[in-house]
Structure 1
């Protein structure tokens, strides 16, 4: 049941996002589009409530509960960034807005960009681990190995992403000759 709900939340995320952007830019109903986009966090609250109710009703903690926590953590950390990125592209394509700037491709600007993304991954792992620890305490003496395993998974993802982000700092890619290194515009 939980896995189906995770899939439904992911599908609903993209449907709400597409509907919000379409209403915002094609129909020019900015407030309605914003309301649809602000409905995104409700999906995570529903997933959290159903997962907690499932555990409260005596379900054995399993991979689906860990996956739900990871999904919520990822959405908390990267959801707003994803929406903002797609909103910029929709404004460019559908409303004649300026082309959104891409991430820097070279040098320390790229290393800083990768470092900021890594911090988002840390946030996702902190949220997921906190939810998983809450589930472990909630379940008590039950079989919580699966939940603890997902905590380690979150920490491994942070470590792997950290190594990748650090590689941009240690071995920065240089701009080709004649192309200036452009700093990232302030957000």
Structure 2
């Protein structure tokens, strides 16, 4: 624990990013729990509205740190990447969690204490979407990769904004180093996601089967 505390003390932006990620899921879990367990939709809406503010806090903390003379480093670049991916993938994560909370806490097929499924008379929430298969899964993988490109583009824009705002080549080298990393993420995602599914998935074989 001392080593972790020392790391965060020496890298405050890493602490901000970690707190942002924790806050992201805390607000989602709290908002959905309040909606489906306590049936307080207004309070739930307020908590879920706080989710995008986590990104704002990370952005403001990054700007303040650099404005105060902080030396741009790995964690500042990581903050830009976090923002890009959080903005693009965050809404989908909320929808994913919402579908499961609606199913679990509105009854659905969850078990009740003592064994068995939810009993008669209990509300039944809609089941989450079934697992994608065939061409639908391949199309989904292509869409997710397109979202990856958008997230990388937003992160690159944030990095460029910081680079030109600082304007000192010797200080911004760690930020430039993030561009090949973003390219690597895009390429790896391409081959591990849609290309893999097209080559080794069951999509085409399932559709041509009589």
What is the TM-score when the length of structure 2 is the normalising length? 0.79
- Who is 2:178 aligned against? 150
Give a deviation string over 1:11-37, Cα, whole Å, max 9, x none. Answer: 111111111011000010112112211
- Consecutive unaligned residues of structure 1, counting only runs of 5 or more, are 182-187
- Who is 1:126 aligned against? 153
Give, in whole Å, the separation in 1 of the partners of 2:179 and 2:100.
35
Aligned-pair CA distance for 1:174: 4.9
CA RMSD of aligned residues (A): 1.7
1:161 aligns with 2:189: yes
Aligned-pair CA distance for 1:98: 1.1
What is the TM-score when the length of structure 1 is the normalising length? 0.88
> Among 11, 15, 18, which residue is 1:4 paired with?
15
CA distance 1:162–1:175, shift in 2 (3 Å)? closer
- Who is 1:184 aligned against? none
1:20 aligns with 2:47: no
Q: How many residues align?
A: 177
Q: Report 1:67-86 matches (<5 A).
A: 67-86=78-97
1:104 aligns with 2:137: no
Deviant stretches of 4+, over 2 Å: 169-172
Greater Rg by CA: 2
Give a deviation string over 1:138-181, Cα, whole Å, max 9, x none. Answer: 111142121111122112111111122122224432599xxx76
Whether the aligned pair in 1 keeps the contact of 2:24 and 2:51 (CA below 8 Å) is: yes
| Structure of higher RCO (CA pairs closer than 8 Å, 6+ residues apart) | 1
Whether the aligned pair in 2 keeps the contact of 1:128 and 1:151 (CA below 8 Å) is: no
Please identify, of 163-172 and 92-101, the stretch whose mean Cα deviation from structure 2 is larger: 163-172
- Consecutive unaligned residues of structure 2, counting only runs of 5 or more, are 1-11, 107-123
